Amino acid sequence: MEQARNQNGLGETNATGFGRGVFMFTLDTELAWGMRGDERWTREFESTRPVIKDLLALLEKYDISATWAMVGELFQPGQDPLYHAPELVDWIKDCSVKQEIGSHSFSHPVMDDPNFKPGDMDAELLNCAKVAQSAGVELKSFVYPQNRIAHVDRLAPNGFTSFRGKDRNWYKNFPRILNKIAHVIDEYLVLSPPVGLPIKRGGVWEIPGSYFYPHKKGWAKHLPISARVDKSLAGLKNAVAEKKIFHLWTHPFNLASDPVNLLNGLEEVFKEVSRLREAGQIDVMTMDEIARVMSAKPENEKVLVLDGHLPSSLACVRSLGSKGLDVTCGAEQQSALALHSKSTNDAWVYPSPLADQEAYVRAVESKLKEMGGRPVVFCMSDNTLLPLARNRVRIEAVGRLPMFEEENFNIAFNKALTLKLAEKLGVPAPKTFFVETQADVDQALTELSYPCVIKPLQSCLWISGKGVRGKTEITETREQAKEIVERIHSQTGIWPLLQERLTGQEFGIFGIWQEGRWIVKFAHKRLRSLDPNGGASCLRQSIELPVEMAAYAEKLMSELKWQGPAMVEFKLDKSGGAPKLMEINGRLWGSLALGQASGVDFPYLIYLQACGQTIDPTDQYKVPVTARSFLADSVNLLKTLVKPQGRLRSTALKEFFSSEPNLVYDVESWDDFGPAFWQIINAIARKI
């Protein structure tokens, strides 16, 4: 059974993570230390020793190494067999299949208690090391009592290289009562458990848990053994598919609550592990082995994805996570949907760049230093990208921005400069008034036809370090237009653009550019928007490259000598004529999931480009594929039903429920349930 391991006993790895899935089994070996004084478990404590012997026999039978995290007091002889069991150390060491003995603290304290200080942590770990050394054991892996994580920075100085992190399930951030309810629901519905990759934290590797194998008491008394097995098998399947770790864990005394049936269930899991290993699809590793593999990996396999509240961020996280990259996702709030994806390895909350630009830049800089290895940074909005672009030297010292020359960057992110470049190159655009004085405004308002469009020059501006969000507004009358223009100018000190309104269909020309050369091509048409009047798309479809639009996009981006991703947006007016340029979006875009579903994995290609790797040119992708933001499309329908604005309610209902070709969803996925749940929660919180 050893043929699936290499000479070091570790699974082979590839350039972006583990070469195969990984199964890891950890046991919180504590006897009565974790439930001191709780007589309800006395029978189980007294039955734990034979359960451990039977479990070791199973591990030998299926050639499975496990990490036994032992309370230090158990190493020492004593009169009370529920609190002292040095023979367990010998049993584990004598197992014919190598087992790891780790630490579960010395006396099982609650380490995140405010009264538990760093010095107390050091004392616990020092005592653990002393008793382990006397037994001939070197401790490298740590499991926190009750999974209450604190004082991580004290682990590395005391010789540890890893610890078990909390399970990254979809309800992990719920309040305590709701968490317990969701946990029971999750068990009975047998939802797939998460799999993950370790992250470096405080100088050691945090290896996230996946699934706690439940006991047979309380609420779990009625949970069938088959549910535990099926959930574990689903975790193994996910680990194989994603080349990540399925981390199963339990307590030996939990197994003693129904030893025959619970061990039989584990045997079914071990059988599948053995089969997958024989097929070369999975490796079995201990926590120490995982830490050694991770420490030997190149450091350029990490990415930082920002704007975790956006579906495009979720698409990016899912893409990069599926390639085995170590994905950290950041947002301004812990409830952001992408932070709860199974592909997010580390969730991080940063200060708002609009509230304090410098604090945001410092936070990103610090996070990149903590991650190490110059991670590639993905920004999904102007809010997060523009401050980093203006501090590129600082950010590039610790990370990688998939970007371009600053002068050209400024042109692409300024609507006036973009349209003036289009005029210079002969690229058609809507009739636009560039105003610089009140007299210019008055003249433009006289010449414009209504309704008209008013656009701030940039979607975000910073004034004295504070951000001001700008949005495009449609106005019906000259009086309204004058009021909006003057309001924008008073807020920002900058006059906006005044533009004729086009009412036709919108198209996006997408790509990755290399020094102005278009190397990856893609296009879509917008079917519906969040607001019936326009705005972000909620339903869009891949199309073959429109020849005229593609030529205009190529002319613009070539002139800019563009490097990295961009979308060039056009509109065809209902009155006919040439397509007209709306704007350049010089970063990854909102409809990112459509490209991936059509066969163009933009986030991963950008990652490769940022790391200096060559990307093969392509304009091949699947058409038609339709991508839908279900929640946004529902909002569109509600707004149309309330205020049709020339669109029949019956037509809106028919279109909403009609079947689109090759339909995929931006957020909703049974295989990655958490983001959709949190999107709904956030929508309710802000009343959509």
Among 36-50, 291-305, 384-398, which stretch is predicted with the lowest mean pLDDT?
291-305
Average pLDDT over residues 457-468: 83
Rounded CA-CA distance 508/469 in Å is 23
pLDDT at site 10: 38
pLDDT at site 13: 39
Residue 399, pLDDT above cutoff 90: yes
Residue 14, pLDDT above cutoff 60: no
pLDDT at site 471: 84
Instruction: Indicate the fold that domain 25-296 takes in CATH.
Output: TIM Barrel (3.20.20)
The residues near 364 (Cβ < 8 Å, ≥ 6 apart) are 304, 306, 330, 350, 377, 388, 395, 399
Question: Dihedral, CA atoms, 524, 530, 533, 537, nearest 10 degrees?
Answer: -10
pTM here is 0.77
Report percent pLDDT > 70 for the chain: 95
Residue 303, pLDDT above cutoff 60: yes
CATH 3.30.470.20 domain position(s) in the chain: 505-685
Residue 18, pLDDT above cutoff 80: no
Task: Tell me if 200 sits within 8 A of 156, measured CB to CB.
Answer: no
Give pLDDT tens digits for 229-256.
999 999 999 999 988 999 999 999 999 9
- Which CATH number is associated with domain 302-401? 3.40.50.20
CATH 3.20.20.370 domain position(s) in the chain: 25-296
CATH 3.40.50.20 domain position(s) in the chain: 302-401
Average pLDDT over residues 613-619: 90
Among 6-10, 210-214, 682-686, which stretch is predicted with the lowest mean pLDDT?
6-10
Average pLDDT over residues 615-634: 92
Give pLDDT tens digits for 415-456.
999 999 999 999 999 999 999 999 999 999 999 999 999 999
Average pLDDT, the chain: 90
pLDDT at site 12: 39
pLDDT at site 612: 87
Rounded CA-CA distance 315/336 in Å is 13
pLDDT at site 646: 64
Task: Name the band, by pLDDT with cuts 50, 70 and 90, for residue 480.
Answer: very high
What is the secondary structure of 123-155 as a DSSP string? HHHHHHHHHHHHTT----EE--GGG----GGGT
Average pLDDT over residues 171-178: 82
Rounded CA-CA distance 657/627 in Å is 14
Q: Which two tokens stand for residue 295?
A: 């420490």
CATH superfamily, domain at 505-685? ATP-grasp fold, B domain (3.30.470.20)
pLDDT at site 199: 84
pLDDT at site 483: 92
Task: Name the band, by pLDDT with cuts 50, 70 and 90, for residue 469.
Answer: confident
Residue of higher predicted confidence among 54 and 630: 54
Residue 179, pLDDT above cutoff 80: yes
Task: Name the band, by pLDDT with cuts 50, 70 and 90, for residue 470.
Answer: confident
pLDDT at site 17: 52
Give pLDDT tens digits for 57-85.
999 999 999 999 999 999 999 999 999 99
Residue 688, pLDDT above cutoff 80: no
3-state SS assignment for residue 419: helix
pLDDT at site 672: 87
650: left (phi over 0), alpha (psi -120 to 50) or beta: alpha
Rounded CA-CA distance 687/556 in Å is 40
pLDDT at site 7: 31
pLDDT at site 120: 97
Task: Name the band, by pLDDT with cuts 50, 70 and 90, for residue 328.
Answer: very high
Average pLDDT over residues 323-349: 91
